[in-house]
Amino acid sequence: MNKEIEVFNHKFKNPIMPASGCFGFGYEFSDLYDLNILGSIALKGTTKEARYGNPLPRIAECPNGLINAIGLQNPGVIKVCSEELVKLNEVYKDKVLANVGGHSIEEYIYVTEKFSKEDKVWGIELNISCPNVKGGGMAFGQDPEIAYNLVKEVRKVCNKPLIVKLSPNVTDITKMAKACEKAGCDGFSLINTLVGMRLDLKRKKPIISVTSGGYSGPGVFPVALRMVWQVYEATKLPIIGVGGISSARDVIEMMMAGASLVEIGAYNLVEPLACKKIIADLDNVMNELNITNLSDIIGIAHC
């Protein structure tokens, strides 16, 4: 069974990578299994300056998933490059995908420039769900024109594959994708989290300190699959499918819908060996479905 995927000018031993925010900076999981079985790793979202994130509580359990409002907690891009990537390189030898966040175009540019100089990084995943301070708080990923301007400027300083992580919290995700494609991106990862909330019935108040947060987990899989399908049809740029994937069968389904690679997110928080188990089970599912090369099924459901 051949699980190799070649995309974004990089050869991946398999399409499986932990999603940003659900795997730390990677090395934290190295005591549990050999990380080198992974196709790649999407790093924790990184900003220009260190961020503590939102006040506690910032996680709430839900049926078929969870809500988080971590708030991009990270040590800042300088420390990520000088410390976190060094620690990760000791236990994981392949290259990784850097996830970039920010609240202004200037911040996105700064962080992207830093990661673009790192040999350990094969690509930039641009998280455009951050509030645009100069745009009155609207997220970069909710307005095609704002997203276009951001991607166009970041593209000027990015010398690696530029992958835009699209928000599902829009009326038409294909408009966002087309705007980013026009601005010069190389592909997409989708979806980011849906917006949700939970109430504490005893306190009669929201559980999350900032009221609402990002809903992720198996419950969002059908939404993610539908949006991957739509973006594949609208642009034909490579896609990283993410959102509710928790089994090898989910991986196959997401790839048939159009994803070249997949990211495993919230399931890592439920089952720390999630990626290892999914990779191990891929052979069984491929054999069952008479799949010899995983690359052959990308977008096959559209034929």
Catalytic residues: 130
Amino acid sitting at position 185: C
CA distance 151 to 164: 8
Neighbours of 78 (CB within 10 A): 14
Instruction: Find tokens 């009669």 and name the residue.
Output: 204
Placement of tokens 């420390």 in the chain: 79
Let me know: does 180 contact 147? Beta carbons within 8 Å.
yes
For residue 96 the two structure tokens come to 């990784």
Contact 99, 43 (CB under 8 A): yes
Task: Give 270's contacts (C-beta < 8 A, 6+ positions apart).
Answer: none
